[in-house]
Amino acid sequence: MRLVRILSATTVLAAAIGSAQAGGFSRGTADTDILYEDGNFNMRAGAIIVVPTQKFSKSVNPALVGTDYLDTYVIPSGAVKIKMTDNLSCAGTYTDVYGAASTYASPFGPAGKLSEKFTVTEFGATCAVFMNMGKGRLAVLGGAFLEKFNYDFVGGGGALDVGLTSSAVGWRAGVAYEIPDIAFRTELMYRSGTTHDASGSGNLTVAPGVSFPVPAAGDGELPQSVELKVQSGIAPGWLAFGSVRWTDWSVNETLNLNVTGVGTSQNQYYWRDGWTITGGVGHAFTDNVSGLVSLQWDRGVSTGYDFRTDKWLLAAGVSMKDSLGGELRLGGAVSYLASAEATKGIEAGNAVDSGWAGILSANYKVKW
């Protein structure tokens, strides 16, 4: 099972790619898997680029029909682990956990949107306490994180430009059991939800060349989640892995934007809870090269107010160790986005065809 232990860490790559196209506003996840890896000091950094495309098939504004509305985005990720003792390791992590970005060829919806974008960046600290148990070891994990929310909106057919920011604090806790000799690990991790009350300002254009600043504010809820992950060696040089993630997207009912002197604009979602299921296999070709393939299904969260329906994702990746002691991981994926129609609320009468997303991932790890 020596080669299985070598490829065990490549499951991190599959998890990262899968998160990039999970349901709702999900993007990245904190790289807490680094806590399990050998080494007194480990550092990993990388990025994922996602290029989605999905076009309007029907719209209240005929000028939108046949146009794409999804923007390309990049998800950065970084993690540093320090082994404090044989039984305690701690890690600092950084990534964009949530986000959305759309640009419209013509005004969309009652607010006349031309573009809307937000990102939620997480800075986290997590520790794991390890205890020998049976043939393996038990791990108890806990930590906290700080979220930074940034929102940009251009509406009113271009007459209104708004920027908002906010911060929120949350926590995570989990338990795991692993048997390193056979690359077995099962982990259950909880991540708390957060509430954002954002503030900022806008620029309102009332006539060509005539504009003035206006105060703005917004609020919304981000969900709690629970994820179960399992991996195990199944034959010499082979590993199987899978995960099930529940996300409490039903808390995301509306995103409210209030601009002084203009009024209140509301994005209506009224989502249902999200479920994401992933499975895959990995193979160690040599002591230095391993690869994996995975398949993911995400149940759409839409209840008829927007376009967030089912997604399927097929991913593949390779891990290569170099002579300097580092490890390069490269991955790619294609995601299928199911067609959708808004039948309720303020976006009723709009629909999109099925679409696709291409995903590329790269990260590099060093350890001492």
Q: For 213-228, how does the pLDDT look when each residue is reduced to its tens digit (9 = 90+)?
A: 999 999 999 999 999 9
Average pLDDT across the chain, whole number: 94
Domain total in the chain: 1
* Cα dist from 112 to 66, 88, 97, 156, 362, whole Å: 18, 53, 28, 5, 37
Opening angle at CA 98, ends 96 and 99, nearest 5: 100
pTM above 0.85, yes or no: yes
Instruction: Give the CATH number, domain containing residue 300.
Output: 2.40.160.60
If DSSP states are collapsed to H, E and C, what string results for 348-366?
A: CCEEECCEEEEEEEEEEEE
Whether residue 203 has pLDDT greater than 70? yes
Between 209 and 174, the higher pLDDT residue: 174
Whether residue 10 has pLDDT greater than 70? no
Cα(49)–Cα(72) distance, integer angstroms: 7
Q: Which domain holds residue 220?
A: 2-367
Q: For 125-175, how does the pLDDT look when each residue is reduced to its tens digit (9 = 90+)?
A: 999 999 999 999 999 999 999 999 999 999 988 899 999 999 999 999 999
The pLDDT of residue 63: 98
Going 149 to 338 to 50 to 65, the CA torsion angle's sign is: negative
Q: For 229-275, how does the pLDDT look when each residue is reduced to its tens digit (9 = 90+)?
A: 999 999 999 999 999 999 999 999 999 999 988 888 889 999 999 99
Whether residue 92 has pLDDT greater than 90? yes
Whether residue 46 has pLDDT greater than 90? yes
